[in-house]
Amino acid sequence: MSQTRDITKLRSERRISVRLPLRVRGKDARGFAFEEDTASENLCRGGAAFRTRFDVAIGSNLEIRIPQQNRTIRRQDPDFETQG
């Protein structure tokens, strides 16, 4: 059995394929701070999958922001932001 199938079995939530712009900030595996604009591959209630050009260790603490799109001038809603 492949490693991908093993990981899929462990997930309790269904992932939804969606491409949203993301801004990711954190430290790479060597401890160097980075900030990158990327996009989600898929989402679920407990997380997001995305590609990054940085070597990020599993379990790293990252700040992920989803900028709002199509804002109107009257709306002052902040971007969605989370850490984990």
Q: Domain map of the chain by residue range?
A: 15-83
Q: Which pTM was predicted?
A: 0.65
Alpha helix locations (H) across 1-84? 3-10
- Region of 45 (left: φ > 0; alpha: ψ -120 to 50; beta: rest) is alpha
Helices (H) and strands (E) in the chain, counts: 1, 6
List the chain pLDDT tens, one digit each, 84 residues: 445 555 555 667 788 999 999 999 999 999 999 999 999 999 888 888 999 999 999 889 999 998 876 655 555 666 656 555
Q: Which amino acid, residue 59?
A: G
